[in-house]
């Protein structure tokens, strides 16, 4: 799931997944971090979900996926779009 807050010069995007699905470490990777695994790990929140927040330039589109332990890649069902392989985020 994606949570958004528009700011004056950027868009704050929070990537959110359930606490236990999948289990283990998960990071979000995409065009915004040159697809570097582990660059943006999701951390536990009080409400039982895991999340990471990034500030991204407005009016751009980014491909992204989540990467879990064991080289398990998965998409965000609630992304703005999907291109057949990646989730798509529009800021």
Question: pLDDT of 6-63, one tens digit each?
Answer: 998 999 999 999 988 888 899 999 999 999 999 999 999 999 899 999 999 999 999 9
Q: What is the mean pLDDT of residues 76-84?
A: 95
Tell me whether residue 5 is exposed, middle or buried, using C-beta atoms within 10 angstroms of its C-beta: 0 to 12, 13 to 18, 19 or more.
exposed
Give the predicted TM-score (pTM) of the model.
Answer: 0.92
Question: What pLDDT, on a 0 to 100 scale, did the predictor assign at position 59?
Answer: 92
With cut-offs at 50, 70 and 90, classify the pLDDT of residue 76. Answer: very high
DSSP-derived 3-state class of residue 32: helix
Query: Comparing C-alpha atoms, which of 49, 48, 50, 26 is closest to residue 39?
Result: 26
Count how many Cα atoms sit within 13 Å of the Cα of residue 83 in the half-sphere of its side chain.
Answer: 10
Pick the CATH number of 2-90 from 2.60.40.10, 3.30.565.40, 3.90.25.10, 3.40.50.150: 2.60.40.10
**Phi, psi values for residue 54, rounded to 5°:** -125, 145
């Amino acid at each position: 799931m994606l949570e958004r807050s528009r700011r004056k010069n950027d868009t704050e995007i929070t990537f959110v997944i359930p606490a236990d699905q999948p289990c283990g470490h998960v990071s979000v990777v995409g065009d915004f971090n040159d697809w570097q695994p582990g660059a943006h790990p999701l951390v536990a929140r009080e409400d039982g979900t895991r999340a990471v927040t990034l500030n991204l330039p407005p009016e751009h589109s980014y491909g992204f996926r989540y990467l879990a332990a064991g080289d398990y890649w998965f998409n965000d069902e609630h992304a703005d779009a999907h291109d057949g392989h990646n989730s798509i985020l529009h800021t």
